[in-house]
């Protein structure tokens, strides 16, 4: 599939939006990239979703790197937690990718729509009933970190996500980290695990009759603007109220879920 000039510009726009929101929320960008590719490029065949997954997972690295570097300079990345998080996330991401290859693209697309809907409902709940602003004790034991990393890695590999969408709340809820530390640490983890997950997905695209060269073509179009967006998003993280970020993400992702699930055409 060869995108037109207009589609290339649209895909570049997707990269910018995905990078900005990914850098803001520490979610990697795939949640914007995947619906965006379906919306602007279309789905000529069921297996196309696997192609888009590979492209999105490859771009997650580009989205997360500038964000992680800026967070690190601000002293927010919990380097002491990275070994356990990296190992558990990477291993289960490989399992998730292998599991995704057992399903057709349509099933994965609908599954992603359901996941996005659940994510939006969770954030709506947090907007309506925010957590009390109190310092909670940390519980950064290896089992808790491994569960946080393993769950996010599996879901990320299965659905083509960076994993931060689960890792950020998991680090908050299970491990007691503050939000900005959770976002920063999640971005650092995605820098490594995105490469592992994308490599596995690219290497197995032939199972679905898709070409890894096409996935990398889309990734190459998305990456430059995603890097710019990731830098902007990381900068805005320290300046925008979290509540406003959540509201914007909820409305955008509700629309994306409706499109992916076939409710809106």
Q: Is 42 exposed, middle or buried (0-12, 13-18, 19+ CB in 10 A)?
A: exposed
pLDDT of residue 234: 67
Q: What would the mean pLDDT of 106-133 be, rounded to a whole number?
A: 82
The tally of domains found in the chain comes to: 1
Asked, for residue 193, whether it belongs to a domain, the answer is: yes
From 58-67, 85-94, 97-106, the region with the lowest mean pLDDT: 58-67
Reading the block at residue 231, the tokens are 């830098």
Asked, for residue 141, whether it belongs to a domain, the answer is: yes
Asked, for residue 265, whether it belongs to a domain, the answer is: no
Which helix (H) or strand (E) segment holds residue 31: the answer is helix 30-40
pLDDT of residue 137: 76
pTM value? 0.86
Asked, for residue 33, whether it belongs to a domain, the answer is: yes
Quick one: what percent of the chain has pLDDT higher than 70?
Answer: 90
Quick one: what percent of the chain has pLDDT higher than 90?
Answer: 35
Asked, for residue 58, whether it belongs to a domain, the answer is: yes
Q: What would the mean pLDDT of 84-108 be, rounded to a whole number?
A: 94
pLDDT of residue 55: 94
Q: Which domain holds residue 121?
A: 5-260
∠ CA 191-58-45, rounded to 5°: 150
What DSSP line would sit under 115-180, residue for residue? HHHHHHHHHHHHHHSPPP---PPP---HHHHHHHHHHHHHHHHHHT--SHHHHHHHHHHTT---HH
pLDDT of residue 247: 76
Q: Is the pLDDT of residue 22 over 80?
A: no
3-class state of residue 43 by DSSP: coil
3-class state of residue 22 by DSSP: helix
């Amino acid at each position: 599939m060869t995108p037109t000039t207009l589609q290339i510009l649209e895909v570049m726009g997707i990269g910018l939006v995905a990078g900005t929101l990914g850098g803001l929320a520490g979610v990697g960008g795939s949640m914007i990239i995947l619906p965006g590719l379906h919306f602007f490029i279309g789905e000529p065949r069921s297996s196309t979703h696997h192609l888009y997954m590979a492209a999105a997972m490859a771009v997650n690295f580009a989205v997360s790197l500038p964000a992680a570097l800026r967070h690190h300079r601000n002293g927010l990345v919990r380097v002491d937690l990275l070994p356990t998080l990296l190992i558990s996330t990477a291993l289960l991401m490989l399992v998730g990718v292998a599991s995704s290859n057992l399903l057709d693209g349509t099933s994965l697309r609908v599954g992603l729509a359901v996941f996005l809907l659940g994510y939006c409902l969770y954030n709506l709940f947090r907007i309506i009933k925010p957590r009390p602003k109190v310092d909670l004790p940390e519980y950064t034991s290896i089992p808790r970190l491994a569960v946080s990393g393993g769950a996010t890695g599996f879901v990320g590999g299965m659905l083509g996500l960076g994993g931060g969408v689960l890792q950020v709340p998991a680090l908050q809820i299970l491990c007691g980290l503050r939000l900005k530390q959770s976002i920063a640490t999640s971005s650092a983890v995605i820098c490594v695990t995105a490469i592992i997950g994308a490599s596995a997905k690219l290497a197995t695209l032939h199972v679905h009759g898709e070409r890894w060269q096409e996935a990398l073509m889309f990734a190459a179009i998305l990456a430059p603007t995603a890097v710019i967006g990731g830098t902007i998003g990381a900068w805005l993280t320290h300046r925008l109220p979290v509540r406003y970020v959540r509201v914007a993400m909820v409305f955008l992702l509700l629309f994306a879920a409706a499109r992916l699930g076939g409710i809106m055409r």
